[in-house]
Amino acid sequence: MNNLVVVESPTKARTLQKFLGSKYQIEASMGHVRDLPKSELGVDVDKDFEPQYIIPRDKKKRVNELKKAAKGINTLWLATDPDREGEAIAWHLAGVLGEDKSTKRVVFHEITESAIKEAFENPKEIDIKLVDAQQARRVLDRLVGYKLSPLLWEKVKKGLSAGRVQSVALRLIVEREREVLAFKNEEYWVIEAELSAADPARRHPGETQSVSIGSERKDSIAEFTLERSEGLQNDKKTFVAALIEKDGKKLAIKNKEDTDGHVKNLKTCEYVVSKVTQREVRRFPYPPFTTSTLQQAAANRLGMSAKKTMMLSQALYEHGLITYMRTDSVNLSAQAITAVRSYIESSIGKAYLPKVPRIFKSKSRNAQEAHEAIRPTDVRTQGLALRGKGDFNKDHIRLYELIWKRFVACQMNEAVMDQTAVDVKAFQSTSEESPSATPGTRKPTSGVYTLRATGSIVKFDGWLKLYGKDIEEDGDEAKQALPKMSENQQLHLIELLPSQHFTQPPPRYTEASLIKKLEELGIGRPSTYAPILSTIQERFYVEKIERKFIPTTLGITVTDFLMKYFADIIDYAFTARMEDELDEIARGEREWKPTIRTFYEPFEKKLELVERTAQKVKMEVQFAGKKCPECGKELIVRIGKFGKFLACSGFPDCKHTEGLEEKVNAKCSLDGGDIVIRHTRRGKTFYGCKNWPVCKFASWTKPKSSVPELIK
């Protein structure tokens, strides 16, 4: 064997083997093979930031196997991803394996026979400028993380962590919480009027359409349905319009008294259509999935965590069902587009196929685009085909179907809606005038209310047939069906519907909305979104309650500390500026070491200053609202290395503590006490009796029944 090819992943290795044949041995590196040591800084700041690279323990075995495979070969081909990290992996591989042999870098953006052939016929050198950009990124993150964290140990609490990414994620959650807590509800009222456009003289059978856009359920992908209610709705000819103006001025109603006044006036008004506007609106499909958008959609539509989404998609990927799941690209291969277009034409309908394929562009400025978008590898494989196959469960199938639908929909025709807005004027009628008079001629100039009704009719469902709209976009569009109306048409008031409302605070972040925000800020990468969410929870900086992130007192304290002294580093734009400089390094317009020095020198000064002058931070005391059973003092909530617990405020005189363990619906088989979730020192969860240490019951698995077992 004369040729060894190294790629990152075993799946990519298998695919490549098919194209390259038996003349090449292909091995996977399993990601990076060298890194800075975990146990120390590993950056010599006095020697021009020279990084100290080692082979991490868990990579030793793989590297030894690679070394064995590289023995005696003539050519080492480095076929890692065409991006910053991929180039660095190639460089490290060359350093570990490449001595005394020819080393070639091959770059391809899609795994097709022609692209691979082209790459192997035109090998390159390793681009050291791109490697330097990666080294700068790596060293910067190490310096920030490994300098700030120990400062937190000293000034706040041991074991804490800070970093360019996690500290910003935490800051977002803390600041949002403050907005929520500072928010003052304001009362406002909405007055709606149910009106009838019935006209006994004329009927318009079939003129109205009732449209129900399948409401998005968390547990299923709603199918878009279009129902035509032939005449059913028409008989009523009623609709709802909301009060918006009085005498041409916007109305903001703040209380019940004003509402009652308007309602009283409106009761005796005449209602006339003043304006009907209709416009055609086109809705374009979403781009195919990237990691971030897949995680968001799986959370919003399927209720899956980012972690679960990644585990499921990994399995789909390894079985060859989808393309690579860690990507920031929305690009699609030419073959995939050809295949899906033919699928749409033959299986969905010619009307759904656009004349030309849709090309999507990446929105995120920091996208590195080493992979395709996430899509099914074969559009002809439907989710149903996975049923009962291999180790796939229901969730694998649901996720696959989501990916499949999003992909097919992205190459379908846009949906076309007719949006109608009807303005209605309401004013006091003058009784002397005959009812046959033209309504428009007797409009008074003051005391005129304007009401507006909006409706939407889908003329062509297009891609919505498959994918539907995203939840957050739902609701802004009224979906009522409006009867056919014309200007100056007289309407009849059926009922006035005043309702009290309160302004709502901004929503707390969910996994989905936080990932979305981080991606917008260019913070984090496809491989790190899910781990970031885990990190800030493992440190007890935030808690997830009913799917929403809420900071703990610890998280708030850490954020306040960092904001006070290192606001520039947890600035939302810090990463964006860093990326600009990394790009300059990659283009050869800047050197990495001076770039790091420019950052580090003031940072180091600040570190010294804070270390010398800052007081140890006292965390805000959180009372538990319970008295200590031993000494009667207040219990307080503390955060220890296993999470929250209750402790006596009289510490250290009183050492009483209480666990805050999560209860499970089960009773102890020994003494009938509640079973609670506990953790070993190493963090593994187990189930134990609440009455420990009196009762010694413990189990790795969840005890099933809440009924105590019979004594034999």
- Contact positions with DNA (CB under 7 A) in 86-105: 86, 89
Which of 438, 652, 683, 711 is close enough to bind DNA by CB under 7 A? 652
Instruction: State yes or no: residue 210 binds DNA (CB under 7 A).
Output: no
Structure tokens that stand for 322 in this block: 């989808």
Which of 638, 666, 667, 669 is close enough to bind DNA by CB under 7 A? 638
Residue 392 Rama label (left phi>0; alpha psi -120 to 50; beta): beta
| Cα dihedral across residues 90, 91, 97, 102: positive or negative | positive
Question: In terms of CB distance, is 138 or 469 closer to DNA?
Answer: 138
Cβ neighbourhood burial of 219 (10 Å; 0-12, 13-18, 19+)? exposed
Task: Note whether 686 and 678 are within 8 A (CB).
Answer: yes
- Contact positions with DNA (CB under 7 A) in 35-74: 35-36, 38-41, 58
- Contact positions with DNA (CB under 7 A) in 180-209: none
**Residue indicated by tokens 């991490």:** 56
- Contact positions with DNA (CB under 7 A) in 399-438: none
Question: In terms of CB distance, is 140 or 481 closer to DNA?
Answer: 140
Segment interacting with DNA (CB under 7 A) among 329-337, 346-354, 415-423, 655-663: 655-663
Question: In terms of CB distance, is 164 or 262 closer to DNA?
Answer: 164
Question: In terms of CB distance, is 110 or 258 closer to DNA?
Answer: 110
- Contact positions with DNA (CB under 7 A) in 478-537: 524-528, 531-532, 535
Question: In terms of CB distance, is 89 or 453 closer to DNA?
Answer: 89
Which of 146, 404, 463, 541 is close enough to bind DNA by CB under 7 A? 146
DSSP string, 207-273: --------PPBTTBPPPP-----TTTGGGT-EEEEEEEEETTEE--B-SHHHHHHHHHHHHTEEEEE
CB environment 415-450: b (16+ within 10 A), e (fewer):
bbbbebbbbbbbbeeeeeeeeeeebeeeeeeeebbb
Structure tokens that stand for 343 in this block: 């699928």
**How many Å apart are CA 119 and CA 425, to the nearest integer?**
70
CB environment 47-57: b (16+ within 10 A), e (fewer):
eebebebebee
- Contact positions with DNA (CB under 7 A) in 658-687: 658-659, 661, 678-682, 684, 686
Question: In terms of CB distance, is 119 or 168 closer to DNA?
Answer: 168
Minimum separation from the CB atom of position 628 to DNA (A): 9
Instruction: State yes or no: residue 149 binds DNA (CB under 7 A).
Output: yes
Sequence-ordered strand ranges (E) for 631-696: 634-640, 643-648, 657-659, 663-667, 674-679, 685-689
- Contact positions with DNA (CB under 7 A) in 535-554: 535, 539
Which of 27, 85, 177, 581 is close enough to bind DNA by CB under 7 A? 85
Segment interacting with DNA (CB under 7 A) among 139-147, 183-191, 340-348, 702-710: 139-147
Question: In terms of CB distance, is 193 or 536 closer to DNA?
Answer: 536
Which of 199, 593, 699, 703 is close enough to bind DNA by CB under 7 A? 699
Instruction: State yes or no: residue 108 binds DNA (CB under 7 A).
Output: no
**How many Å apart are CA 567 and CA 576, to the nearest integer?**
15
Segment interacting with DNA (CB under 7 A) among 137-145, 263-271, 344-352, 355-363: 137-145
Torsion angle defined by CA atoms of residues 37, 529, 682 and 694, in that order, rounded to the nearest 10 degrees? 160
Segment interacting with DNA (CB under 7 A) among 6-14, 245-253, 424-432, 584-592: 6-14
Instruction: State yes or no: residue 150 binds DNA (CB under 7 A).
Output: yes
Cβ neighbourhood burial of 411 (10 Å; 0-12, 13-18, 19+)? buried
Residue 37 Rama label (left phi>0; alpha psi -120 to 50; beta): beta
**How many Å apart are CA 291 and CA 328, to the nearest integer?**
6
Which of 18, 275, 387, 655 is close enough to bind DNA by CB under 7 A? 655
- Contact positions with DNA (CB under 7 A) in 307-326: 314, 318, 324, 326
Segment interacting with DNA (CB under 7 A) among 27-35, 333-341, 457-465, 481-489: 27-35
Distance of alpha carbon 245 from the chain centroid: 38
- Contact positions with DNA (CB under 7 A) in 153-172: 153, 157-167
Instruction: State yes or no: residue 647 binds DNA (CB under 7 A).
Output: yes
**How many Å apart are CA 302 and CA 219, to the nearest integer?**
5
Minimum separation from the CB atom of position 677 to DNA (A): 8
Question: In terms of CB distance, is 389 or 641 closer to DNA?
Answer: 641
| Cα dihedral across residues 691, 697, 700, 701: positive or negative | negative
Question: In terms of CB distance, is 597 or 655 closer to DNA?
Answer: 655
Minimum separation from the CB atom of position 118 to DNA (A): 22
**How many Å apart are CA 287 and CA 306, to the nearest integer?**
19
> Is residue 324 annotated as a catalytic residue, yes or no?
yes
Site string for DNA, 595-634 (x = CB under 7 A): ---------------------x------------------
**How many Å apart are CA 52 and CA 47, to the nearest integer?**
11
Task: Note whether 168 and 572 are within 8 A (CB).
Answer: yes
Which of 110, 141, 258, 378 is close enough to bind DNA by CB under 7 A? 141
CB atoms within 10 A of CB 104: 21
Question: In terms of CB distance, is 369 or 401 closer to DNA?
Answer: 369
Minimum separation from the CB atom of position 564 to DNA (A): 19
- Contact positions with DNA (CB under 7 A) in 247-276: none
Minimum separation from the CB atom of position 583 to DNA (A): 14
Question: In terms of CB distance, is 356 or 694 closer to DNA?
Answer: 694
**How many Å apart are CA 140 and CA 463, to the nearest integer?**
44
Helix/strand number for the chain, H first, E second: 16, 23
Which of 9, 305, 323, 420 is close enough to bind DNA by CB under 7 A? 9
Minimum separation from the CB atom of position 617 to DNA (A): 10
SS3 content of the chain, % helix, strand, coil (to 5): 35, 20, 45
Segment interacting with DNA (CB under 7 A) among 142-150, 228-236, 374-382, 457-465: 142-150
- Contact positions with DNA (CB under 7 A) in 364-393: 368
Torsion angle defined by CA atoms of residues 6, 7, 12 and 16, in that order, rounded to the nearest 10 degrees? -40
Question: In terms of CB distance, is 273 or 370 closer to DNA?
Answer: 370
Instruction: State yes or no: residue 577 binds DNA (CB under 7 A).
Output: no
**Residue indicated by tokens 């990394």:** 582
Question: In terms of CB distance, is 496 or 698 closer to DNA?
Answer: 698
Minimum separation from the CB atom of position 332 to DNA (A): 19
Spot the catalytic one: 24, 146, 317, 324: 324
To the nearest 10 degrees (0 to 180), the angle between helices 128-155 and 592-613 is 0
Give the number of C-alpha atoms closer than 13 A to the C-alpha of residue 590, restricted to the C-beta side. 18
Segment interacting with DNA (CB under 7 A) among 251-259, 492-500, 584-592, 690-698: 690-698
**How many Å apart are CA 699 and CA 301, to the nearest integer?**
35
Cis omega (within 30 of 0) for bond into 693: yes
Minimum separation from the CB atom of position 213 to DNA (A): 37
H-type helices in 375-525, by residue range?
394-410, 511-520
Residue 536 Rama label (left phi>0; alpha psi -120 to 50; beta): alpha
Which of 355, 693, 711, 712 is close enough to bind DNA by CB under 7 A? 693
Minimum separation from the CB atom of position 165 to DNA (A): 3
Segment interacting with DNA (CB under 7 A) among 386-394, 499-507, 603-611, 692-700: 692-700
Q: Which residues are catalytic?
A: 324
